[in-house]
Amino acid sequence: MIVVAILLGIISWTFFEYLIHRFLGHKKRANNPITKEHHRHHAEGGYFAPVWGKLLLAVMVLMVLTTIIGLPFGWNYGFAYSLGLTAMYLLYEVLHKRAHTHAPLLPYGKHIRLHHFHHHFRNPKVNHGVTTRFWDLMFNTLEIPEQVKVPRKMALSWLVDGSGRVLPPYESDYVLVGQI
């Protein structure tokens, strides 16, 4: 049963990731820290919110969730759920940052980058999942791009060569548009 609680925590994070991104990250008015930080992330592709802010919020949420699960089901299950959620949140943070800063190593990395950068550069109303496309599929916000159009001024370092051209392994998936 502990393993089930951990798995539920992992699955829960992917759902929370989708909800937070879709409904807080993309609110029209930046009236909360998540919205403000996310708007800045879209405007400055290499910007990520400070780690201390994320950690503070994560600790508060985990304390509440551990209590909510722990009181009715037992503290072992509350901690196990929180462990799964925390592990997946940390994996999300690593995968999201690496998507912006490193070339994909596996097919999963290739697909999740196409998914995420279509959201960033083409349509911010779709593709809210960063670690999975599942919730986008469930809530009809999934768009599968044939090719992602990246503004030249936002070109990802792993995507282009020294002269600013898309590297050969990515030419079929990405194209640069606009002026620097």
Q: What average pLDDT score do residues 158-177 get?
A: 95
- CA proximity to 119, closest of 91, 149, 155: 149
Whether residue 29 is predicted with pLDDT greater than 80 in this model: the reply is no
Whether residue 180 is predicted with pLDDT greater than 70 in this model: the reply is no
CA separation for the pair 144, 133 (Å, rounded): 10
Tokens 């980058």 map to which residue? 113
CA separation for the pair 70, 84 (Å, rounded): 14
pTM: 0.90
Whether residue 135 is predicted with pLDDT greater than 90 in this model: the reply is yes
Whether residue 45 is predicted with pLDDT greater than 90 in this model: the reply is no
35 versus 134: which is more confidently predicted?
Answer: 134
- 125: tokens are 């109303």
Model pLDDT for residues 50-92, shown as the tens digit of each residue: 888 888 888 888 899 899 998 998 999 999 999 999 999 999 9
Long-range Cβ contact pairs of 26-34 (< 8 A, separation 24 or more): 26/124, 26/125, 26/128
Q: Spell out the residues 6+ positions from residue 131 whose beta carbon is closer than 8 angstroms to its own.
A: 13, 14, 17, 88, 91, 92, 95, 112
Percent of all residues in the chain with a pLDDT value above 90, rounded to a whole number = 68
Whether residue 25 is predicted with pLDDT greater than 70 in this model: the reply is yes
At residue 104 the predicted structure's pLDDT band, cuts being 50, 70 and 90, is very high
Tokens 């393993």 map to which residue? 3
For the chain, which residues make up each domain, given as ranges? 2-147
- Average pLDDT of the chain to the nearest whole number: 92
The neighbouring-strand residues paired with 148 are 174
Percent of all residues in the chain with a pLDDT value above 70, rounded to a whole number = 99
pLDDT of residue 26: 85
At residue 167 the predicted structure's pLDDT band, cuts being 50, 70 and 90, is very high
Total residues found in the chain within this entry: 180
127 in Cβ contact with 118 (< 8 Å): yes
Minimum mean pLDDT range among 29-38, 87-96, 99-108: 29-38
pLDDT of residue 51: 83
Q: Distances from the Cα of 87 to the Cαs of 56, 114, 129, in angstroms?
A: 16, 24, 17
DSSP symbols for 94-148: HHHHHHHHS---SHHHHHHHHHHHHHHHT-TTS---SS-SHHHHHTT-----SSE
pLDDT of residue 108: 96
CA separation for the pair 21, 4 (Å, rounded): 26
